[in-house]
Structure 1
Amino acid sequence: MTATALPVASGQGQWALGERAPLNHNEQFKQDDGPLEVRKRIEQTYSRLGFASITSDDLRGRFRWFGLYTQRRPGIDGGRTAVLEPHELEDEHFMLRIRIDGGRLDADQLRAIAEVSTQYARDTADLTDRQNVQLHWVHIEDVPAIWRTLEAVGLSTTEACGDCPRVVVGSPVAGISPDELVDPSPAIDEITRRFVGDPDLANLPRKWKTSISWLPDVPYLTNDIAMIGAVHPEHGPGFDLWVGGGLSTNPMLARRLGVWVPLADVPDVWLAVTRLFRDYGYRRLRHRARLKFLLADWGVARFREVLETEYLGRRLVDGPAAQTAPRMIDHMGVHRQRDGRWYVGATPIAGRVSGTALAAVARLAQRHGSGRVRTTVDQKLLILDVEEADVAPLTAALAAIGLQVAPSTWRRDILACTGIEFCKLAIVETKARAAELVAELERHPSLAAAEISISLSGCPNACARTQVADIGLKGQLVRDASGALVEGFQIHLGGSAGLAAGATAGFGRKVRGLKVTAAELPAYVRRVAAAYLDQRHHDEPFAAWALRADEMSLR
């Protein structure tokens, strides 16, 4: 029996089965007018006539394909997030997401981002956990000028959001790491050149997240499609293909297809998987439109069969699994490159920087390096190509602008999403809460040895990878001691992305009823960190301890 003759669920809006009628409003507006067509209206109409001229389907739909979301109206508390209509929640300002594929920037590009931030975005800038930069307070009238500034240096906001191929995540040390056997940057470049902005791929069932890296320094198991370095015993270095990862309210880890992909084939294999998702992905319900649900229904064997027979027209080579690293890699600190120079990794708190700070980083990267800068999936920055004599002055200069090269474990290992400050979906504050938490924990030297990752998400969507952190904090309203509803968090413990040797990827543990108010959070983390340090076996990681600890130790 051929792959297409196998029984499949009907009525899910799968194009490959001839189900082209739109089954929800999102599918309708994408069919009514290609999302990429909205750029002309932004340039020719909306930027001239202002916010009030924007149609609803463009404002809350197609704008996403160019990295634009309306931000949350100030003063609306988290209790109203789920009850207000979109027009009641939104402000007349935008978040603008700049895509940075592979996390690669040069000094001119970083200066351009800084210029846009300071001139058009109130000096805001956030480093995301997908290597992008997000700006806030953007006016629609300024968007064409912003695009001109960014595109003049090779940057773009095209398909930074939307049901399309979003940024391709990659290792920030691709091409310079002594441990890398194959630099996948040419494949990332080809994918972005050929397919970003391609109308044929601009209407996928849902967002499409990609990671391509030789090193296991990106959370590849949480992406829709991921390729990670692997050495075939006969063919040599290539990439191990994983599909179907995603977090949010129904988290699933990606699964191996069991194939080996040479570097030259990476773009075409990526295209084949993407087209399969476009054609067979579920489009009826938005919350079931990610690839992970199709893969769960089909299984790996059928997915591979359809991929090979219908989209590649050939068999893929069976291959070995990728190898994990001896320990987690986040690239903070000072590290030698393969050419003998050094790269320096520095961290803000939870990605919060500014245009002013980014302009300073651009100057430092040129003064002490070659001008090359990288963003990471952990909301951090690297400066590459630093001579040994420049390491100390660069480290001091970074510290002067709030970027620490030797941060505390708490500053180093904390992530936070945008939160209620700007996001219409959020219920609680995250960025400021992360900064307060770090400041409090740094006041307790006895806890410095606890290497514990913390992720704060303002809602259940897990934009900060809540479920794969040591301590994952999902924002919600909880009752305080007086019975009042206040900002707080449900707690996940012992999650892991499985990137280090001996670590088992998984979503950790939820202890029944384990929630804290935002005010109680620092004391809770202090308490559980102290219990971990007291009870761990030798160098036992937090995730392993959390999965075996008794509930009292976790409360």
Structure 2
Amino acid sequence: MTVTDSHPGHGAPATPERPVRPPRADRSNGQWKVDGTVPLNPNETWKQEDGGLNVRERIESIYSKEGFASIPPQDLSGRFRWWGLYTQRRPGIDGGRTAQLDDSELSDEYFMLRVRLDGGALTLEQLHTVADISREFARDTADISDRQNIQYHWIRVEDVPEIWRRLEAVGLQTTEACGDTPRVILGSPLAGIAKDEILDPTPVIDEILERFIGDPELANLPRKFKSAITGHPSLDVVHEINDISLVGVLHPELGPGYDLWVGGGLSTSPRLAERLGVFVAPDAAADVWHGVIRVFRDYGYRRLRNKARLKFLLAEWGPARFREVLETEYLGRALPDGPAPAPASGPGDHVGVHEQKDGRFYIGAAPVVGRISGSVLAGLADLLEAAGSDRLRLTPHQKLVVLDVPADRVDATVAGLEDLGLTTAPSPFRRNTMACTGIEFCKLAIVETKATAAATIAELERRLADVTPQLGRPISLNVNGCPNSCARIQVADIGLKGQIVTVDTADGPAQVPGFQVHLGGGLASADRDEAGLGRTVRGLKVTADELPDYVERVVRTFLDQRIDGESFSEWTRRADEGALQ
């Protein structure tokens, strides 16, 4: 028998290549094409019993009418994610109790709702709609995530069908924004407008969305599947930390196309993606994406969820075997060898004012760690309208870019952005600090992040104003509320992993919010040729209150000790542990 694209829980029986074997103690990793499809953990069981996409009908016809109490646990904590819905953290539960309570005890009767914005693209009409939903249904919340999404909080299940109706009326969706699915596709914010673009990835992103997002045959993956596609030479989609990335290159004989990267991801077991060494023509890119996700679906590890990301399969197989399986079993043809991307041409966050290839301008602006609001979005929509722009893009760095601004409206647009708290000339600390959602709303978090990061930025701007011009390359500061690295702590100059820290007080030892420190990580950029994971220093932890003190101290030590113009990351790799304290 051969494997088809029909799987349990989606209306058709599985037809595995090999007979299904019963579980046994020495079973391997639960790969469908090797071990059969008998589920090996509770998540795999309920996904096969009823696919996550099927819950939408129940949300619309039952739960939104009968309320939160009508939602059974498996839909609430599982299948709702297939439609971008997570219960948010119940207020008043401190970080020390995060690991002590189960999901039902941590959950409030409100949801985070994630709107997937593939390529980070919003039209003016869509921006108005997103702003209105925030103000009407989400208590004016709206965060820009580092996956180019908008995230709401305080969403009631009773309001979800109306929110879907409004989003879908303007071409937006929450389909597979979470869950074991193909998540949002990161795309260059400058797609189609940059002077130096190698190629426009928009047609590929659109084709993948049209053909594959919401497809039941791809809606039961071992874990989440993160994608990124760019044709811009700034390498602006953090390609090294996605499950699949297509990065624009110029082949000496075949012209513009993509270099294929596979198997990146961070969390508690960080691993950088690897090149397969192939050249992907633009008209083949969607099919290659489809091939890679099916390799993951069929060969990905399903026994243990903490070993189920694609990076673990690639670590075992290596890029050569992965390429062979992709070409022979899924594409039916060999892909040509191809070149690696050139070093990044400039910053990938696109902050500032820049000319487009059509003579108009794009303007990149920085909120504070992605925290905005529906009111700010509404003001932004009014500003775009006044500028004659119909397009906005979000970035994978928690920034935003206004497109198509005529030259004579640039100054007014920059001033209008500043009035909204969105600066086009941020300090290095504001520009290069990111933060995850944190304990305010996230059930996994141990510490607060957004306000801590914002307060730290303000302090560093004040304390380090005298040495900021000496920094040269900006120093990135990423703040995460738990070990899962949503804010990419291992690839920041200073990465902070939230945890409870014990300190001595006059009344004896006390537990307070704090961070473990990672130093010297980074992704390929205009200032760094290669990506690398940061180092940890044994015993190096700081409390949240001490964070500005620590960053100021380590930055000043770096400036005192650096040689030959080395970067902060280079210095941390050679510095002794005492200098990093």
The alignment status of 1:122 with 2:148, answered yes or no, reads no
Q: Which residue does the alignment assign to 2:103?
A: 86
Task: Provide the C-alpha distance between the structure 1 equivalents of 2:174 and 2:290, rounded to a whole number of angstroms.
Answer: 21
SS at match of 1:227: strand
Among candidates 155, 158, 165, match of residue 138 of structure 1: 155
Task: Provide the C-alpha distance between the structure 2 equivalents of 1:479 and 1:392, rounded to a whole number of angstroms.
Answer: 50
Q: Which residue does the alignment assign to 2:477?
A: 454
The alignment status of 1:402 with 2:421, answered yes or no, reads yes
Backbone CA RMSD of aligned residues: 1.3
Change (3 A) 1:538 1:337: farther
Q: Which residue does the alignment assign to 2:540?
A: 514
1:18 Cα shift? 4.6
Q: Which residue does the alignment assign to 2:33?
A: 16
The alignment status of 1:324 with 2:343, answered yes or no, reads yes
1:275-294 deviation digits (Å, cap 9, x = unpaired) = 11000000000000000101
SS at match of 1:92: strand
The alignment status of 1:60 with 2:77, answered yes or no, reads yes
Among candidates 550, 553, 563, match of residue 537 of structure 1: 563
Q: Which residue does the alignment assign to 1:499?
A: 525
Say how many residue pairs are matched.
549
The alignment status of 1:40 with 2:57, answered yes or no, reads yes
Task: Provide the C-alpha distance between the structure 2 equivalents of 1:185 and 1:326, rounded to a whole number of angstroms.
Answer: 20
Range with bigger deviation, 449-458 or 62-71: 449-458
Task: Provide the C-alpha distance between the structure 2 equivalents of 1:410 and 1:306, rounded to a whole number of angstroms.
Answer: 44
SS at match of 1:480: strand
Q: Which residue does the alignment assign to 1:337?
A: 356
Change (3 A) 1:289 1:512: same
Partner amino acid, structure 1, of 2:520: G
Change (3 A) 1:447 1:90: farther
Q: Which residue does the alignment assign to 2:119?
A: 102
Task: Provide the C-alpha distance between the structure 1 equivalents of 2:346 and 2:405, rounded to a whole number of angstroms.
Answer: 25
SS at match of 1:229: strand
Task: Provide the C-alpha distance between the structure 2 equivalents of 1:539 and 1:321, rounded to a whole number of angstroms.
Answer: 27
Task: Provide the C-alpha distance between the structure 2 equivalents of 1:469 and 1:327, rounded to a whole number of angstroms.
Answer: 17
1:138-168 deviation digits (Å, cap 9, x = unpaired) = 0000000000111110000000000000000
Partner amino acid, structure 2, of 1:481: D
Task: Provide the C-alpha distance between the structure 1 equivalents of 2:209 and 2:170, rounded to a whole number of angstroms.
Answer: 16
Task: Provide the C-alpha distance between the structure 1 equivalents of 2:33 and 2:577, rounded to a whole number of angstroms.
Answer: 49
Partner amino acid, structure 1, of 2:46: F
Q: Which residue does the alignment assign to 2:191?
A: 174
1:140-198 deviation digits (Å, cap 9, x = unpaired) = 00000000111110000000000000000011001111111210110000001111100
Q: Which residue does the alignment assign to 1:392?
A: 411
Task: Provide the C-alpha distance between the structure 2 equivalents of 1:542 and 1:123, rounded to a whole number of angstroms.
Answer: 38
The question of whether the paired residues in 2 share the 8 Å contact of 1:69 and 1:96 is answered with yes
Among candidates 421, 439, 444, match of residue 420 of structure 1: 439
1:151-550 aligned within 5 A: 151-215=168-232, 216-444=235-463, 445-449=465-469, 450=471, 451-482=474-505, 483-500=509-526, 502-550=528-576
1:66-90 deviation digits (Å, cap 9, x = unpaired) = 0000000000000100010111000
1:418-476 deviation digits (Å, cap 9, x = unpaired) = 00000000000000001100111111212323311010010000000110001000000
The question of whether the paired residues in 1 share the 8 Å contact of 2:347 and 2:526 is answered with yes
Partner amino acid, structure 2, of 1:38: V
The question of whether the paired residues in 2 share the 8 Å contact of 1:375 and 1:381 is answered with yes
Partner amino acid, structure 1, of 2:488: R
Task: Provide the C-alpha distance between the structure 2 equivalents of 1:446 and 1:57, rounded to a whole number of angstroms.
Answer: 55
Q: Which residue does the alignment assign to 1:29?
A: 46
TM-score, with structure 2 as normaliser:
0.93
Task: Provide the C-alpha distance between the structure 2 equivalents of 1:350 and 1:524, rounded to a whole number of angstroms.
Answer: 19
1:545 Cα shift? 1.5
- Flag structure 2 segments of 5+ consecutive residues without an equivalent: 1-16, 19-25
SS at match of 2:301: coil
1:503-532 deviation digits (Å, cap 9, x = unpaired) = 331112111111000010000001111122
TM-score, with structure 1 as normaliser:
0.97
Identity %: 61
The question of whether the paired residues in 1 share the 8 Å contact of 2:198 and 2:250 is answered with no
1:533 Cα shift? 2.2
Partner amino acid, structure 2, of 1:411: R
1:401 Cα shift? 1.1
SS at match of 1:142: helix
SS at match of 1:446: coil
Task: Provide the C-alpha distance between the structure 1 equivalents of 2:566 and 2:382, rounded to a whole number of angstroms.
Answer: 41
Q: Which residue does the alignment assign to 1:71?
A: 88
1:481 Cα shift? 3.0
Partner amino acid, structure 2, of 1:513: G
Task: Provide the C-alpha distance between the structure 2 equivalents of 1:196 and 1:29, rounded to a whole number of angstroms.
Answer: 21
Task: Provide the C-alpha distance between the structure 2 equivalents of 1:44 and 1:414, rounded to a whole number of angstroms.
Answer: 43
Task: Provide the C-alpha distance between the structure 2 equivalents of 1:10 and 1:468, rounded to a whole number of angstroms.
Answer: 35
Task: Provide the C-alpha distance between the structure 2 equivalents of 1:439 and 1:15, rounded to a whole number of angstroms.
Answer: 51
SS at match of 1:411: helix
The question of whether the paired residues in 2 share the 8 Å contact of 1:369 and 1:383 is answered with no
1:17 Cα shift? 1.9
The question of whether the paired residues in 1 share the 8 Å contact of 2:28 and 2:35 is answered with no
Partner amino acid, structure 2, of 1:84: L
Task: Provide the C-alpha distance between the structure 2 equivalents of 1:549 and 1:300, rounded to a whole number of angstroms.
Answer: 34
1:299 Cα shift? 1.2
Q: Which residue does the alignment assign to 2:6?
A: none
SS at match of 1:267: helix
SS at match of 1:299: helix
The question of whether the paired residues in 2 share the 8 Å contact of 1:225 and 1:245 is answered with yes
Task: Provide the C-alpha distance between the structure 1 equivalents of 2:177 and 2:487, rounded to a whole number of angstroms.
Answer: 17
Task: Provide the C-alpha distance between the structure 1 equivalents of 2:85 and 2:468, rounded to a whole number of angstroms.
Answer: 40
Task: Provide the C-alpha distance between the structure 1 equivalents of 2:27 and 2:271, rounded to a whole number of angstroms.
Answer: 23
Partner amino acid, structure 2, of 1:41: R
The question of whether the paired residues in 2 share the 8 Å contact of 1:496 and 1:503 is answered with no
Task: Provide the C-alpha distance between the structure 1 equivalents of 2:576 and 2:303, rounded to a whole number of angstroms.
Answer: 43
Task: Provide the C-alpha distance between the structure 2 equivalents of 1:91 and 1:138, rounded to a whole number of angstroms.
Answer: 11
1:501 Cα shift? 5.6
SS at match of 1:251: coil
1:212-245 deviation digits (Å, cap 9, x = unpaired) = 0012112100000001011111111110000000
Task: Provide the C-alpha distance between the structure 2 equivalents of 1:493 and 1:503, rounded to a whole number of angstroms.
Answer: 17
Task: Provide the C-alpha distance between the structure 2 equivalents of 1:22 and 1:191, rounded to a whole number of angstroms.
Answer: 28
The question of whether the paired residues in 1 share the 8 Å contact of 2:344 and 2:529 is answered with no
Partner amino acid, structure 1, of 2:338: G
The question of whether the paired residues in 1 share the 8 Å contact of 2:201 and 2:229 is answered with yes
SS at match of 2:466: helix
Change (3 A) 1:302 1:509: same
1:464-500 deviation digits (Å, cap 9, x = unpaired) = 0110001000000011232211100000000011233
Partner amino acid, structure 2, of 1:415: M
1:327-347 deviation digits (Å, cap 9, x = unpaired) = 432100101111111111111
Task: Provide the C-alpha distance between the structure 1 equivalents of 2:501 and 2:240, rounded to a whole number of angstroms.
Answer: 31
- Flag structure 1 segments of 5+ consecutive residues without an equivalent: none
SS at match of 2:38: coil
1:123 Cα shift? 0.1
